[in-house]
Structure 1
Amino acid sequence: MSQRKMLPALLLLLPWLDGLALGEISNDFSQCLDFFYSQTPPQGISGPGYLQPICQRFKNQYHFASLYNRQHRTPLYSAYRLNAPDGKRPAATWMYEPQLAFSRASSEMQPFRNPVDQNVIESQAVNGDYTNSTYTRGHLNPSLHQKTIENREATFTLTNIVPQKKGSNSGPWSILENEVLKKFKAFCQGPMYVITGAMPYKSVEHRIKNRVSVPEYMWSAYCCPCFNASLPEAMRPLFPTYAAVGRNDRNSGEEIVPVNAKAKASVKGYDVRRMSLETLEGILTQRLAMPITLFDGQCQ
């Protein structure tokens, strides 16, 4: 893409890529680098503004990492190490990040209490944003990909959530999450690093209740640097990395993700396209107008 073409796109997307805001939460993920392959967060994301690294802390332990956009009240991505769950999905106790509202507050996520403090409401998404909306709370780091009950409970923070249509959340995207878990259990002989994020609309911004930005697409990529050397032939293109993009809007064009005309009516238009890591990085680089690398050295 030429610099002339990249500039208008960057200007449109700067509200999503508002740079790194300093805070006590985490300045640079230095406290939770273990959730990134080679202890290296995605490279190439830059710009002035309000992107806040969060080391997601719950019950005196770090569980995953999120790059949170304060202005849009959603994460740009969450990064984690996948582990097969040792139990069922816990009951949802939705939480928030106190330090987004008060810099000297507790470093641990906290459950919402009524009434919600106005500073919390102004600093991040709250449950009321999703009430009576047409969107579900879409996990970037799903509880399905976390081992212990504490790990799974920690995913229920709204700093790990984006507005996601039900047809996607419980349909094709859920199928993708289960597929990734099965690949991990069958073929990974070491850690699997996953980064899952949200892709904004290209031009006109969408929000729920004029507060929380809605992504046009969801995306995800994994890195499994140590895998079974005797992979079946069909599995070899899927290691050490693979990726996907899912539609979150039935009315979006098909240049990124085609629509399956034969899909059931309830999920038609929420298709997920599987692809190589290189293809995903190319899409993100073009859409976000900056050269993005998700895994250091391409997970080699």
Structure 2
Amino acid sequence: MECHLSLEGLVIVAYLLLVHANLKQVTRLISALPEESPVFIHVDTNAGRFYEELRDAMKRRAKTYFVPRFRSRWASPGISRATFSLINAAIESGVEFDYATLLSGADYPIKSNEQIADFLARAKGNEFIESFAMEKPNRWTEMGGLYKAPDRALRYHLRIRGRVYNTPITRSMPYGLVAYGGSQWWTLTRAAVEYIDVFHQKSPKFDRFLHGTFIPDEFVVQTILSNSPFAGRIVGDDLRFAIWDRPVPPYPATLKCADVPELLASTKLFARKFSDSVDSDVLDHLDAAIGNKVVAA
């Protein structure tokens, strides 16, 4: 399961994007990615004209694919289904890639494309995703209410008029799976992505189980991979920089120019989250520091 290098000797990374708004920032993110990288884009069905605007903006970029869309309400199964749609499109496209990285429209690379490719070339086929057993002590165990593990996955939740309620009804994972959780974001080998795609297509009970769960996008991929032959390849690092302990919500903290030194000192490859309405200069500083040349879409 070691990484298979392309004919040019470089790792090709496919980028899978979950987006819903902010045309300027999303097009900048895509333009910062390698030209040889295929980019697969899921746009929330509630995104309005943003979908058409982004398609128009991407007409000139090769290897850009828009995938079947789902309504992606926060904490709902729709985000997981959008992720499965991206994964399936990447596999069915037949395009070459060695690793796939899931990003949101508020993410951005904090290493150059060459550094990212070099890191993954030396990764020996490891799977970069946070994954912990939800029924054992973990960082969600002491959380309250809806956020507590393993209740997120194993307790039935009701969604009424946009609000989520935790019921006393408990359930077991289908197919005898053990529930694993962690950050939604990951960088995985093509072989792992293929496994996830096949599992999803052949396991309809798992998809139905997602109804009634809370934030399933933070456990579906972990559960599939950690119950698979890829479990021993999982590295408990999603390669993402984020600040969770800054006292002003919402979380994670929106990154600013003042954070650039810490971003550059980080060993992570990507960071979240950025907002050009909060700090429109931070990405300019990052690109200048890492040497990425952003080409307008």
TM-score normalised according to structure 1 size: 0.29
More helix by share: 2
